[in-house]
Chains A and B, each alone.
Chain A
Amino acid sequence: MNSKEEVFAGAKDIINQLAVIIRTAAIHDPGNIAVTSAIDRFIAIVNPLITSEGEVVLELRGEFFYLGEARIRYSLEYLPNFDFLIREFKKREMGSIVFKDVLKAEDMQSFLKVFISSVFSSSPFEAITEGMNDIDNLSVGKLRKIREEKVEGEVDIRKVVKKSYFNAVSYTRGVINKIKSGEKVSIKKAKRVVESMVDMILEEEQLLLGMTAIKDYDEYTYHHSVNVSILSIALGQRLGLNKKTLTELGLVALFHDMGKIEIPNEILNKPASFTDDEWNTMKRHPFWGVRAILRLRGFDSTSIRAAIVAFEHHINYDHSGYPGTKKPLDLDFYSKIISLADQYDGMTSSRVYSRIPMPPDRALSLMMERAGTQLDPILFKFFINMIGVFPVGTLVMLDTKELGLVYQSDAMFLDRPKVLVIINNKGEKVDGYIVDLTEKDTNGKHLRTIIKTMDSNKYKINLAEYLL
């Protein structure tokens, strides 16, 4: 490995050490030995990079730090410090630090002073920039929105995402039909489909998550499998899982309901409530899932995980679900993730036995009540951060008297998504225009704010109609 690559490989240490400094400086005075020795270690890591590159820009984009144009990858042990630093940057609306020249300890001490104190200011970012006037070697940049509007000539990414999504649904339908008719299924293709979804999540998380709002009653099984896969990959990505693990998680999620293939159609499509016997049959699907997966694939690392999840995804965090077991199982990590995604998508979809789905925000509220009982509370925190306070598809009334549907969550400001306005402030139906609720006027006041949420299903309003 050449020296430049070594420096980049050590980029995660820069983030880690910066987090350590800020944590220490929050407790001690910047001149304290604990802070100064942490600064010395930081300088020892960062200065070789500055020497080799000239100028180094450390930028927060979405949920990731970038060094120049390279995304900084991190492993498990770095997760707490990465997460801490992201929160500290966001609190201050700070998006980047630019190291212009070789650092001196005094530069970092001065920076830390203004950085720590800025949190008490109403305009923290401005407070930092004012306080940094005397620091020559360092500057900061404001937090940028992840994606600027489409420029002419650019590939319409939404179209690409849409295509990927429907490929996945179509593939899932094909697989399920093949399994039903006893045909062989190519796992190579499944992997490629999931890899494509993982790429989309890494690049365009919110756009692909938005696609999960497409709920097709007739094709519920296929959409549900894909949606659960997407939601699980997205949650896994928030948890810092690597690409390979995300693919495995996505595959496992795609096949989580495999056991339902064996449920007779007359039960699966029954429009009324189930009898006890029918309900008991439904509750056998986790067993049948294990059977279907192991028969289909035999034993390998992915099929083992898939079989476990097929069995556990209805057991619940507090073991209140089904199937009951002789001894309580220590639920698999994937099972916990996938059951969150499964519940959310199930609740917000219309199905044969529940034609009217729950509005996304209400589903989220209900899940919040279940966090700690049916659902893993920590994973739920990550989930809500991912989905946003107002998930895609939520019908909202703005303080401007415009009615719209949440179109895309904002990764940074969870209560300020992009909204597709469908009725303007005069009460007129419009073709749909997108407004960004993070936008402010010249006085720093937000232009629009959500004041009410409503049940879109009550009025048969479907986001899909506007998304597609």
Chain B
Amino acid sequence: MELLDDIKAAKDVINALMKAKKAFRMYPENNPMYAKTIEDTYAKFGSFFDYRDDLTLKIKQNEIFCDTEQVYFNQQKEDNLALFFFKDGLREISFKKGFSIQELEEFLKILTVDYDREVLDDDVVTLLWERDFHNIRYVVDEAFLVEDEDYEVEAVREVKDKAVETDELTRAYEDAFKEEGVKDISIVPLSDKDLHMLVKELEKNNYNKMDKLLTIIFEMLYQADSKGDYEDVVHFLNDAIEYSMKHGDLETTTNIIKRTKETVDDPAISGEAKKYLNLVFSFLGSDTAIKLLGEFLDSGIEIEDRIFADYLKFLDKNAIQPFITILGELKSIPARKNVINALIALGKKDIQSLAKGLYDSRWYVVRNIIYIIGKIGDKKAVEYLLKTVNHGDIRVRKEVIKALGELGTQNVLQTLRDCLDDSDWQVRTSAARALGNVRSAAAKSIILRKVLDQDFRKNDFNEKKEFYEILSHWKDNDVVEFLMKTLKSRSFFNRATNDENRACAAYCLGLMGNKDALPLLYKARESNNKLLREYSYTAIKRIEHEQ
């Protein structure tokens, strides 16, 4: 038998709801498909309301009916719209004509909530109830709320069993004539002042209550009289930290720890209590707490620098390892930047713990740790860094060479010299740059020796140019003499290579701004070699301009 048009339209609404339920889970609110889903579903409701003013759906475990017609049937447990409503006691739902598109969106959001998540305290009925839709009505069977079906019957029977005796009633009636007349209980009406006070009280009611609860928890500590009481307090403070971290409220976290610190410093607090409170500081730097911080940092919520710095002050070196762990897991650049800053601050307290990060299996973590160690600038870190110079990843090797150069101790020179002979030109130039950062005479000698090396002279022009550029950091006679000599040098064999070296020398002299080199440079400018001509010309311009 063919369905009536209104029943067909009701069926279309159900199908649209099912589709929307899936789409809402797939697309974020800013996706065009999200808006389209709402519009399409709304259009289906609109079509139904062309026939009737009210869409009432009766819900059974696996079926939905419109009037007596079945408009939905599904025996599966998964994606069963009927069961979805039925399990929370919903037995009928009606949509009235006038149902707005905003109401539909809110309703669809309720359909999409993942109710199986244990943390969620709401079911479908609660959410419908809280939204208080203007154009959605529903009928609920509360039977599943009843813990004991006979409770009411038994309670009533008990009361009836204790029924008052007639004699007592008669006595009450007789006594009533002897009682004093009723006193006038005057009700003082509410004044405007009362109402304004109340308004203020209600405003205060919206404030964050965590601070108040913390006061109570610390009060429990002051009045604790057993080990169990102390353990409870520590447990609750840790939970409070976890809760505020989960909500991205780093300020409250810091407040909790500040208050813990104040309490530890209170002379009235027993040694036992202090011992327990110290566990809270450990928790702050635990894997759990730092992981939560990581999630929050990755969420993109901005943290004020002041708040983050305040929070870092309370972290201990035990936070280093958890921070290293999350460093490799974070997705966003600002989040990694925050963690790096945290590790720079914490690493100063314990470079050894930080150095453990150099053995991390993730190359990018190792590279970040090297960067952090370099920033800390603790020369004690060199021994750890030296061990990573032969890391399998070129990016790590480049970073460690750079860091060694920044640290610049005597014992890094040999390693950097070795790196100049590396088969990878990137490593060689990184090492040269690092030596340039060291700036010592020994470092200079190493580079000078390298550029004089016959094999080096055959290297790519850009690499050689980089080495000469580094030499320009030392503006002393040794370097100038070497450069002038190079610029003057002539060769019958390998002339092109020789001219490349001369061009590098010209470039370097230009960078140094050495005007004594001008006559030589003028001469070189006339060279037949195009490269030498150009570099000499640029060097002259630079020196003359600076004059």
Contact = CB atoms under 8 A, between A and B. Distances in A.
Contacts, number: 219
Contact of A87 (B189, B197, B213, B222): B189
B243 A311 contact: no
Interface of B: 89, 100, 102, 121-123, 125-126, 129-130, 132, 134, 142, 145-148, 151-152, 155-156, 158-160, 162-166, 168-177, 179-183, 185, 187-190, 192, 194-199, 201-205, 209-210, 212-213, 215-217, 219-220, 222-223, 232, 236, 239-240, 242-243
A99 B174 CA distance: 54
6 contacts: A166-B155, A169-B151, A171-B147, A193-B145, A427-B173, A452-B181
Contact of A452 (B158, B179, B194, B198): B179
A204 to B, nearest CB: 16
Contacts of B189: 87, 381
A308 B190 CA distance: 28
Interface residues of A, number: 97
A461 B147 contact: no
A461 B216 contact: no
Contacts of A191: 121-122, 126
Contacts of A162: 152
B123 A196 contact: no
B187 A384 contact: yes
A320 to B, nearest CB: 17
Nearest to B153: A166
A interface: dominant SS: helix
Contact of B145 (A80, A167, A247, A327): A167
B202 A80 contact: no
A192 B123 contact: yes
A71 to B, nearest CB: 11
Given A329-B216, A384-B187, A458-B172, 19 more contacts: A79-B195, A167-B142, A174-B148, A192-B89, A192-B125, A192-B126, A243-B132, A295-B232, A307-B216, A308-B209, A325-B219, A334-B205, A361-B185, A368-B185, A403-B172, A454-B176, A464-B159, A465-B162, A465-B163
Contacts of B164: 459-462, 465
A216 B173 contact: no
A381 B171 CA distance: 35
A299 B126 contact: no
A397 interface: yes
A454 B175 contact: yes
B185 A365 contact: yes
Given A169-B151, A454-B176, A79 B216 contact: no
Contacts of A454: 172, 175-176, 179
A298 B239 contact: yes
Contacts of A298: 239, 243
A80 B199 contact: yes
A304 interface: yes
Nearest to B246: A299
Interface of A: 1-2, 5, 76-77, 79-80, 83-84, 87, 162-164, 166-167, 169-171, 173-174, 187-189, 191-193, 195-196, 199, 214, 216, 218-219, 239-241, 243-244, 247, 287, 290-291, 294-295, 298-302, 304-305, 307-308, 311, 323, 325-327, 329-330, 332-334, 361, 364-365, 368, 378, 381-382, 384-385, 389, 395-397, 403, 414-415, 422-423, 427, 429, 450-454, 456, 458-462, 464-465, 468
Contact of B185 (A295, A311, A364): A364
A307 B213 contact: yes
A78 to B, nearest CB: 10
B237 to A, nearest CB: 11
Contact of A76 (B100, B129, B197, B199): B199
A291 B235 CA distance: 10
Contacts of B188: 381
Contacts of B152: 162-163, 166-167, 170
A422 B169 contact: yes
Contacts of A174: 147-148
Contacts of A244: 130
B118 to A, nearest CB: 10
B147 to A, nearest CB: 3
A110 B126 CA distance: 48
Nearest to A4: B98
B126 A216 contact: no
Contacts of A332: 205, 209, 212
